[in-house]
Amino acid sequence: MNLLSIDALTVDRGTARILDRVSLDVARGETVALVGESGAGKSTIATAIMRLLGDARISGSIALADAGDLLALREPDMVRLRGRRLSMIFQDAGAALNPAYTVGAQLVSAVRRNLGLGKRDAHARAVELMTQVGINDPEARLSAYPHQLSGGMQQRVMVAIALAADPDLLLADEPTSALDVTIQAQIVRLILAQTRARGAACIFVLHDLALASQACDSVVVLYAGQVVESGPVRDVLDNARHPYTRQLKSCVLEIGRDDLVAPEGTVPSHEDMPAGCRFATRCPRAQDRCWADAPPLETARGSHRFACWNPE
Ligand SMILES: Nc1ncnc2c1ncn2[C@@H]1O[C@H](COP(=O)(O)OP(=O)(O)OP(=O)(O)O)[C@@H](O)[C@H]1O
Ligand code: SF4
Ligand SMILES: [Mg+2]
């Protein structure tokens, strides 16, 4: 049984359909990379799982093992799940940490809230977590304020806070984009090593396709709020069927950069979105039917799926 099963998740804000029938599964212990250009809906998926989307209109279901459909839970039940079973690392650690409290106060309070430990045990657990995320001299660092730490160190503290309760599922939303490239790779590897060591699953929003291919089990490619291709990393990247996945891959290869460089053209605005395949305005393989009918997700092999009327 899957740890998480998202089915036909649709999110609307005003007249804009931000996510359109997104389905994805995460097995226990699996690491899933979410990739796609800016605005594709990656953060919206992560935030919807945490049920922190505010006034957006949401339909579909997000089933978590032993908890049922998160969208149907009462808020107090959701509060209990956040931190304990689901945890999120946000993009900007500097903004996510409270400047008025020491790192130790914030980490100890996360440990106490989620694990119900007394002060002394919580402190010992905080020191242990700081060590696990590679922070030297953890006792001294616990009494530092966030601004006294480097960006990479702050991000490590965020990882420690997110791991404080040994969650079943960690959501990491481009947690390293504010850091320099070497530190980025270190933090990504740290998060993956720590989630693996705990047998936790991870949904990783990544802009680095090469890193996704080395470090994750599965990949979900999003375009304009729709899943266009998903499955085991090797199947999707070595045998991409969707023209958008191909373009993403060739951008990485041609330019010789690891980052996710956008293919030519831009994503249409929500007012101008084609009724059929949302990629039709940029697709070299588009046919008449592509403009009118949205292609369903089809199975290529095993759990490798793609949505295209005229696949590669
Ligand atoms: N609070 C909001 N109010 C209105 N529109 C929003 C809001 N948050 C996101 N959107 C819109 O939803 C769409 C998806 O945004 P989202 O932040 O999920 O994309 P993303 O894939 O995470 O992009 P990025 O790579 O830039 O972080 C975008 O069109 C964005 O403009
Ligand atoms: S459905 Fe048509 S427009 Fe969409 S990706 Fe496939 S070929 Fe291109
Ligand atoms: Mg985002």
Write out pLDDT tens, residues 269-285.
998 999 999 999 999 99
Domain spans of the chain, in order of start: 4-85+168-267, 96-166
Per-residue pLDDT reduced to its tens digit, 77-98: 999 999 889 999 887 777 789 9
pLDDT class of 252 with cuts at 50, 70, 90: low
**Which of these, 85, 130, 79, 124, lies nearest to 103 by C-alpha position?**
130
Q: What is the pLDDT of residue 83?
A: 83
pLDDT band at 254 (very low <50, low <70, confident <90, very high): very low
Q: Which of the following CATH numbers is that of domain 4-85+168-267: 3.40.50.300, 3.40.50.850, 3.20.20.70, 3.100.10.10?
A: 3.40.50.300
Ligand nearest to the CA of 173: 3
Q: Is 276 in the pocket of ligand 2 (CB under 6 A)?
A: no
**pLDDT exceeds cutoff 80 at 176:** no
Mean of pLDDT values over 215-241: 94
Q: Is the CB of 307 under 6 A from ligand 2?
A: no
pLDDT at 262: 58
Is the minimum distance from the CB of 243 to ligand 2 under 6 angstroms?
Answer: yes
Work out the number of other CB atoms within 10 angstroms of the CB of residue 303.
Answer: 14
Atom of ligand 2 at shortest range from CA of 228? 5
277 lines ligand 2 (CB under 6 A): yes
Q: If you average pLDDT over every residue of the chain, what do you get? A: 90
pLDDT grade for 309, boundaries at 50, 70 and 90? very high
Helical (H) or strand (E) element with 170:
strand 169-173
Q: Where would I find the beta strands (DSSP E) of the chain?
A: 4-13, 16-26, 31-35, 57-64, 68-69, 86-89, 169-173, 201-205, 218-223, 226-232, 298-301, 304-306
* Selection from 108, 178, 109 nearest residue 150 by Cα: 178
- 3-state secondary structure (DSSP) of residue 286: coil
Confidence of residue 255 (pLDDT cuts 50, 70, 90): very low
Q: Which tokens belong to 56?
A: 């957006």
Ligand 1: which residues within 6 Å by Cβ? 13, 18, 36, 38-44
Residue 308 Cβ contacting ligand 2 at under 6 Å: yes
